[in-house]
Structure 1
Amino acid sequence: MAPVLTPVLEKSGPTVFTGPLVRSAKAAVVAAGPNLAKLASREILSRRGLAVTSDSQRTTLGIIGAYVVVIALLWNLPYVRWSLWPFKMLVIAFHEFSHAFAAICTGGRVKSISLDPREGGVTHMLGGMNFITLPAGYLGSSLIGALLTFCGFNIVASKIASLVLGVCFLLTLWWGKKDWLTILTILLAVGLLVACWFIAHAIALRFAVLFIGVMSSLYSVWDICDDLILRKVNSSDASVFAQRYGGSSQCWGVIWSIISLIIMVAGIIAGIAAFPQSFAQQVEDSRNFLPTR
């Protein structure tokens, strides 16, 4: 039997390269590092469809930022606050409908819903799980707002959303306070949505839907401001939740506001990923779906 030869491997230390050429290579890698990182991140975003590449996306993001500032001012400034009434009524309706939906899903029953742009809304319920129904108003309106913000990135999606919004506006007349100013402002808001259909092939409709989406997404922030600063008649859900489960209304308000912001950001990211089309492409698509002049 032939002997089995086992190779012997000699251990050696690591090879160290030195010299000006190596030092130059190291310097080049260090200098190129940030640029390589940027290129890599762009490539990852492009693969995931999250790159902001079109004029439509950039404009929409800028308008979202402007809406946040404008709504915050109009919501709290006296004398001009009334300009938000129809939209505020709708957002309050989303909030109260979310309470009602959560109550029904947890075995409760809804007795009545009332809406008032001055005093806020209130939903009278029997049964249900309060731990779920109380935050459902904020989180539900935030989810609806995120969906509308998502639709606000595209004309065709905004057309579909506006049909639902029109019905919701009219439903608020049933539960809303029956005074002439509320009725008039809601009808004007419905008229505004209809008019936006006929402005530049419904491009204006996109921004109307986007406005309502941003306002609804951040309703928890606006409502906490109302409760802590303006002291409206109907206390916020955060106050009731704090009374029943401990903590402070400010604490729960901040927590729910952060969750609302996260939901809103998710809607924005989804809109960027789903609708990369330019304005020209969206107008062309809009002409093939319930076309208007």
Structure 2
Amino acid sequence: MAPILYTRSEMAYLARRAAITLGPAIVKAHLNTRALTVRGAQGVTLGVMAAYIVLIAILWNIPYVRYVLWPFKMLVIAFHEFSHALAATCTGGRVDSISLDPHEGGVTHMRGGNSAITLPAGYLGSSLIGILLTFCGFDIVASKVASIVLGVCFLFTLWWGKKDWLTVGTILVAVGLLVGFWFIAHAEPLRYLVLFIGVMSSLYSVWDICDDLILRKVNSSDASQFAKRYGGSSQCWGVVWSIVSVLFMAAGIVAGIAAFPETGAQQKNDSEHFAPTM
């Protein structure tokens, strides 16, 4: 086939048409690339997250020193039980009580609800809460909003767990920390606290799933009950839920980078005008 030859004017016309056709796609791709570019404040956040992960991993395995993490472990367990309770309430069930165990356990007494949702809700719910907090930890104002939402969740948890002293104590300490950090330097340290709680919740959820359901079999776990009702094995469901939790973590980090491109100075300025405290 003979080659098709175009005049200079025809080439210019084709070039303009290509620009009109592909221009929006090129601009969109460019914007998406810029949105996922790690800038100064985002780099600091990612660095702090990495430091948190290393610190948590070290403290987790040192005898006696590991008790430094105990209050935060209990808080994550409270997230776990709150997720059970919320899922039960949303699917027509009734929550009688929530209680925490000082040996890093907890139980939600509930009646009714859709077990296909309430059983995995503990692991996946606490993981989702963790990554939402991590997402908000990329920005000061978002961390303020997250602390308000946490406060509402804590009120429900207190209502359901009002008969258990450990649940009440854990929630009150968490609320005290959030309120105290809100009043320091226009809540700038608050985002690092929210970020730490988010990272801790995400890591603990994944580790709890792996420890209970994959590395060792716990007959009374949520996954074992789920397997009895819906088939499969607890280890299988543990793998599935842990993969989902890891995907939650990855999605939350990417979303945080894309959603909060502001510099540290811009974040401080925005925080001074959003529910200011100083």
Taking structure 1 as the reference length, the TM-score comes to 0.73
Determine the C-alpha separation between the residues in 1 that align with 2:217 and 2:168: 21
In 1, the alpha carbon distance for the partners of 2:219 and 2:176 equals 30
Q: Which residue of structure 2 lines up, in the alignment, with residue 85 of structure 1?
A: 70
- Structure 2 residue 82 is matched with structure 1 residue 94: no
Query: 1-side partners of 2:214 and 2:32: how far apart?
Result: 45
User: Given the alignment of the two structures, is residue 111 of structure 1 paired with residue 85 of structure 2, yes or no?
Assistant: no
Is the Cα–Cα contact under 8 Å of residues 82 and 157 in structure 2 kept in the other structure?
no
Cross-structure match for 1:268: 253
AA aligned opposite 2:180 = A
Are the aligned partners of 2:83 and 2:125 in contact in 1 as well (CA < 8 Å)?
A: yes
Name whichever of 278-287 and 125-134 sits farther off.
125-134
**In the alignment, what sits opposite 1:254?**
239
Secondary structure, in 3 states, of the residue corresponding to 2:105? coil
For residues 233 and 12 of structure 1, the distance between their equivalents in structure 2, rounded to whole angstroms, comes to 74
Paired residue for 2:193?
A: 208
CA apart distance, 1:193: 2.4
- CA–CA separation in structure 1 for the residues paired with 2:183 and 2:277: 6
Counterpart of 2:103 in 1: which secondary structure? Answer: coil
Answer yes or no: is 1:136 the counterpart of 2:121: yes
Residue 87 of structure 1 aligns with an amino acid whose one-letter code is F
Q: For the Cα contact (< 8 Å) 1:223–1:236, is it kept in 2? A: no
- Rounded to whole Å, the distance in 2 between the matches of 1:103 and 1:171 is 13
TM-score calculated relative to the size of structure 2: 0.76
SS at match of 1:115: strand
User: 2:267 is matched with which residue?
Assistant: 282
1:178 aligns with 2:192: no
Give the CA deviation at 1:214: 1.8
Change in Cα spacing, 1:228 to 1:77, as seen in structure 2 (3 Å) is farther
CA contact (8 A) 2:38 2:257 kept: no
Structure 2 CA distance, aligned partners of 1:111 and 1:185? 19
Identity percentage over the alignment?
A: 70
Cα distance change, pair 190–109 in 1 and its aligned pair in 2 (3 A): closer
1:215-254 to 2 correspondence within 5 Å? 215-227=200-212, 235-254=220-239
> For residue 225 of structure 2, what is the amino acid of its counterpart?
V
How far apart, in 2, do the equivalents of 1:211 and 1:96 lie? 20
Q: Provide, for residues 134-162 of structure 1, a one-character-per-residue CA deviation record: whole Å limited to 9, x for no partner.
A: 11122222222222112111111111212
What SS is found at the alignment partner of 2:36? Answer: coil
Match of 1:158 in 2: 143
Contact 1:42 1:51 in 2 (8 A): no
After superposition, the CA RMSD in angstroms is 3.4
Residue type at the aligned position of 1:252: W
Offset of 1:60 from its aligned partner? 0.9
Structure of larger gyration radius: 1
- AA aligned to 1:249 is S
Distance 1:104 1:263, change over 3 A: same
Which structure shows the bigger proportion of residues in helix conformation?
A: 2
Aligned counterparts of 1:126 and 1:99: Cα–Cα separation in 2 = 11
- In structure 1, the residue corresponding to 2:64 is in which secondary structure? coil
Distance 1:159 1:74 in 2: 28
